[in-house]
Amino acid sequence: MRTQLLELLEKRMQQCVADGRGPVLDDKFERKTRLFERRNSAIVNVKARGNIQVINSQEDTEEVDYKVHLQYFIKQKDHFYVEEEIENRRGIFYKGILIEDKEILISPQDDLMRDLSLFDAQSDEVRYTYDRRKAVQYAEKWWNSYNPAYHQFEVDCTNYISQCVRAGGAPMRGYPNRGNGWWMQNNSWSYSWAVANAFPRYLEASKQGLRAKVVGDVSQLKLGDVICYDFEGDGKYNHTTIVTAKDGNGEPLVNAHTYNSRMRYWAYEDSTAYTPNIKYRFFSIIDGQ
């Protein structure tokens, strides 16, 4: 069992390497390779380590859930960096033979905002300076783990980004009204703190506390800024990332949760959720006045 999974993983890794040749085993890796080519970049090496999480057996069939930590060593002009991601996968064995292997996809959040109108209630004015360095440091520290001081969600992307921005000094406000402000407190939280579709709506409306301005081009984002993703282009945002670095072309690299990743190219064209209809919203965090 372990041997077959390891052999498959090695073949998938070979597909990514710049000078690798062979059949296409993984559409995601194929998209990633093409994406790097368009960016005048190359994956020069891939490292992976995995561990089995759960084995479910029924008669002649076994389902094996396992986790893989992938590291892509990337060369772009004279610039080198490491992109990392975590895959949750499931291998299906019949009579000891691996017959299927796939990534486990997480169901999107329910649209908790459908009957909710966010408003910007008055509160005491708080002055603060957004510390981008601290926001990025937090994003790096917790990209593949979970701060026990905060609630953890299965769909954790926006919760993680809120924590990063909070670490940069952005003040909470609005407790205990879940439809008001931006906060997590006493084992409760605002929709804007944890729901991908609520977070950008809050940022667009907020006049105090955590605030941001929408910028028209990704090149205008700085470290510690935020990108929101509408994968289907239907007006509902379903993912959030934070800018943690820039690549050799000066484009953002981002960290994220749910599908935990680090130093990933911002456009997400290699994601299983990507569609040609994708829309982005670029937010630059501004200091409190």
Here the CATH number for the domain that contains residue 171 is 3.90.1720.10
Return the pLDDT at 66: 97
Answer yes or no: is 122 within a domain.
no
Q: What total number of domains does the chain contain? A: 2
Q: Clarify whether residues 61 and 144 are in a common domain.
A: no
Answer yes or no: is 274 within a domain.
yes
* Measured distance CA(69)–CA(48) in Å, rounded: 5
Q: Clarify whether residues 158 and 280 are in a common domain.
A: yes
First to last CA, the chain: 59
Return the pLDDT at 92: 97
Question: What secondary structure letter does DSSP report for 209?
Answer: S
Return the pLDDT at 112: 54
Answer yes or no: is 116 within a domain.
no
Answer yes or no: is 59 within a domain.
yes
Interval 148-197: pLDDT, tens: 999 999 999 999 999 999 999 999 999 999 999 999 999 999 999 999 99
Answer yes or no: is 120 within a domain.
no
| Alpha carbon separation from 275 to 73, 109, 110, 231, 267 (Å, rounded) | 26, 18, 20, 6, 11
Domain boundary among 86, 103, 120: 103
Return the pLDDT at 269: 95
Helices (H), 86-233: 132-141, 157-167, 191-194, 199-205
Q: Clarify whether residues 191 and 281 are in a common domain.
A: yes
Identify which of 152, 151, 161, 155 has the alpha carbon closest to the alpha carbon of residue 200. 161
Return the pLDDT at 114: 44
pTM of the model: 0.93
Answer yes or no: is 45 within a domain.
yes
Q: Clarify whether residues 179 and 247 are in a common domain.
A: yes
Tokens 């004279």, located at residue: 78
Answer yes or no: is 115 within a domain.
no
Q: Which residues of the chain have pLDDT under 70?
A: 18-25, 110-126, 289
3 state SS of 6: helix
Q: Clarify whether residues 139 and 281 are in a common domain.
A: yes
Answer yes or no: is 126 within a domain.
no
Domain boundary among 87, 103, 119: 103
Q: Clarify whether residues 15 and 143 are in a common domain.
A: no
* Measured distance CA(68)–CA(30) in Å, rounded: 18
Return the pLDDT at 243: 98
Q: Clarify whether residues 45 and 166 are in a common domain.
A: no
Give the structural domain span for 59: 2-103
Q: Clarify whether residues 237 and 278 are in a common domain.
A: yes
* Measured distance CA(106)–CA(259) in Å, rounded: 8
Angle at 205 between CA 192 and CA 235, to 5 degrees: 70
Q: Clarify whether residues 178 and 87 are in a common domain.
A: no
Q: Clarify whether residues 74 and 147 are in a common domain.
A: no
Q: Clarify whether residues 148 and 280 are in a common domain.
A: yes
Q: Clarify whether residues 144 and 228 are in a common domain.
A: yes
